[in-house]
């Protein structure tokens, strides 16, 4: 059918995803994940065969979109009151990347 039907995940690809997502999987879990992802992509590949000719295009959103603009400016103190560790007028976050 196409790209999705033949797509499989090699264990080294699973290892790369694990590293990027900071997942810790056993070798058995990696194999299982590879098989599950292949099944999902196979299902997505089946969508390629669905005929959509003659179907109406998607409808416009039911909600009216508003202008993107500042509605309540200068609320720094209020916003930071919910932050666990604000510093001056900024949010602080834990360091996650190694130097």
Are the C-beta atoms of 2 and 45 separated by less than 8 Å? yes
pTM summary value: 0.46
| Residue 52 pLDDT greater than 50, yes or no | yes
Share of the chain above pLDDT 70, in %: 83
Domains identified in the chain, total number: 1
What is the residue range of 27's domain?
3-49
Is residue 64 situated within a structural domain?
no
Could you give the CA distance from residue 98 to residue 19 in angstroms, rounded to a whole number? Answer: 14
CA distance 1 to 50: 11
Per-residue confidence (pLDDT) for residue 38, from 0 to 100: 87
pLDDT at position 60 is: 53
Q: Is 10 within the bounds of a domain?
A: yes
Is residue 75 domain-resident? no
Res. 61: pLDDT tops 60? no
> What is residue 7's predicted lDDT score, i.e. its pLDDT?
54
pLDDT at residue 26, rounded to an integer? 93
26 lies in some domain: yes
């Amino acid at each position: 059918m196409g790209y999705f039907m033949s797509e499989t995940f090699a264990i080294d690809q699973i290892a790369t995803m694990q590293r990027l997502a900071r997942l810790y999987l056993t070798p058995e879990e990696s194999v299982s994940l590879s098989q599950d992802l292949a099944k999902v992509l196979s299902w997505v590949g089946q969508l390629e065969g669905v005929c959509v000719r003659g179907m109406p295009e998607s409808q416009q959103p039911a909600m009216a979109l508003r202008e993107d603009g500042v509605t309540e400016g200068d609320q720094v103190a209020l916003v930071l009151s919910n932050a666990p560790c604000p510093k001056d007028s900024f949010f602080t976050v834990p360091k996650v990347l190694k130097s």
